[in-house]
Amino acid sequence: MTETNSQQTSIKKILPLILATAIFMQMLDSTILNTSLPSIAKDLHESPLNMQNAIISYVLTLAVFMPASGFLADRFGTKKVFIFSLILFSLGSLFCSLSQNLTHLVISRVIQGVGGSLMTPVGKLALIKTFDKNELLKAMNFAIIPALIGPVLGPLVGGYMVDYLSWHWIFLINIPIGFLGIILGLKFMPDYKSDDVDFDLKGFLIFAAASLLLSISLELFGDIQNITPVLIVFILGFLFLYYYYKHAKKGGHPIFPLNLFQVRTFRVGIVGNLATRLGISSVPLLLPLMIQIAYKQSAVTSGWIIAPMALTAIFGKSSVIKILDKYGYRKTLMVNTFIIGTLICMLAIPDIHTSLYWFVPIIAILGFFNSIQFTSMNTISIADLRNFQTSSGNSLISVNQQLAIGFGIAFGLIVLKLYEGSDLIQGETHNAFRYTFLTIGILTILSGFVFRRLHISDGKNMKSKDE
């Protein structure tokens, strides 16, 4: 009995560290590539503006496979699935570093994405099942610290590795971290299973097909010489969405029940997340690209300029509860979206002769308000969900978030390519970036009107949670 208690104590000490390792790898990997794309593009003989597939493929793979994580953990056990996800993520990282062309890199990123889609959700599930409710918050807070540090380090580590080593190291860095996670996981990860395994495989496949087709249509839209295949893929994507709607309407246990959308605050949160992230998501990629391509600065410089965005986000998280308590969700989200859109527009003001330091305060302030935006949107989305809806609602919010990031990156680069091919820029690439920031900034401001659908009293009894 004493030995069992001792073992349980060891597990409780180490388990948050194991989850922290997984979250750190995933958050680092999500941001490290932004400052490195021009160098990777040069080595793989590609245009930097065609490299978005390397980011989008990873984000969309996360979105597609996340809903399956709970089922796989229940069916095969948290320990086996978590170790498998770490192995897959580490192998994907190794394959990325060995890539000889963009196709190899995209395939490797998909392998990474499958590992990442299982790694964090399964680690969180093990944590929830191990700790009592009164211990859980403390354990979770420790585990999510890397989620705050990763985005700060990502652009800087990526910049230094590209400038002083080579781009391959931005992927190789994952292997020792992954190996540490595997060793700790083998010894300390509990193996929870469930006999009550019910998974909507058909719904999962239909929804995954719709997500992929809509993403591919956005990707093809970047090359608009022939509009026909783009429209065909786009229409197919919507047909699969309609097919999912018909499937979910039949009842049973759909992966995302339609009754979620009968909850007004959930509906507004989901649509608002998708709309506002179209502009917000492309900024961490477009700004480093502009600094390196138009300003001809190093990856390290672009890393230092983008890093304050993640630092101030930490302060945003600590301020959001007070702001929401004072102003409420409706007013906070409408005003906050307007501020974010205005700040993105301000990135278009400097010309090619303006000092790069102009961007630092804008990016720092943007990080603060982004943090408030994401936390507010995520918490209002689940504010009125009933207990039986929380699990599927949370899962759909995570999937929607990843899809929105992928769509946002693709959308930002499509706008950039359209301006680059127009007469407006007068042969200056820098102007194409300026017009792009102006366009996505204005669209972000307009997206704030989605939150008018909220009532003043919405979320009054909701305590804000971290993103």
DSSP, collapsed to helix, strand or coil, labels residue 274 as helix
Is there a common fold for 1-195 and 260-467? yes
**pLDDT for 412-448, tens place per residue?**
888 888 888 777 666 677 888 888 999 999 999 998 8
Q: How confident is the model at residue 466, as a pLDDT?
A: 41
User: What is d(CA 22, CA 304) in angstroms, rounded to the nearest whole number?
Assistant: 25
Q: How confident is the model at residue 467, as a pLDDT?
A: 45
Return the minimum-mean-pLDDT range out of 106-115, 169-178, 313-322, 370-379: 313-322
Q: How confident is the model at residue 210, as a pLDDT?
A: 87
**Cβ contact 64:212 at 8 Å:** yes
User: What is d(CA 122, CA 127) in angstroms, rounded to the nearest whole number?
Assistant: 9
User: What is d(CA 367, CA 308) in angstroms, rounded to the nearest whole number?
Assistant: 7
Nearest to 178 by CA among 116, 128, 100, 129: 116
**pLDDT for 23-61, tens place per residue?**
777 777 777 777 787 888 888 888 777 777 788 888 888
Nearest to 455 by CA among 286, 265, 177, 193: 265
Q: State mean pLDDT over 13-19.
A: 74
CATH class, domain 260-467, is mainly alpha
User: What is d(CA 408, CA 6) in angstroms, rounded to the nearest whole number?
Assistant: 48
Residue 1's pLDDT band, with cuts at 50, 70 and 90, is: very low
Residue 306's pLDDT band, with cuts at 50, 70 and 90, is: confident
Q: What is the mean pLDDT of the chain?
A: 80
- Asked whether the predicted pLDDT for residue 255 surpasses 60, the reply is yes
User: What is d(CA 308, CA 286) in angstroms, rounded to the nearest whole number?
Assistant: 16
Q: State mean pLDDT over 12-27.
A: 76
Q: How confident is the model at residue 336, as a pLDDT?
A: 92
DSSP, collapsed to helix, strand or coil, labels residue 308 as helix
**pLDDT for 83-120, tens place per residue?**
899 899 999 999 988 888 888 888 898 899 889 888 87
- Residue extents of the structural domains in the chain: 1-195, 200-254, 260-467
Question: Which residue in the block uniquely carries the two structure tokens 């990156």?
Answer: 409
Q: How confident is the model at residue 446, as a pLDDT?
A: 92
Instruction: Return the higher-pLDDT residue of 156 and 274.
Output: 274
Q: State mean pLDDT over 118-141.
A: 71
User: What is d(CA 108, CA 47) in angstroms, rounded to the nearest whole number?
Assistant: 19
CATH fold of 1-195 reads Growth Hormone; Chain: A; (1.20.1250)
Q: Give the list of residues 6+ apart from residue 453 with CB closer than 8 angstroms, or none.
A: 264, 267, 268
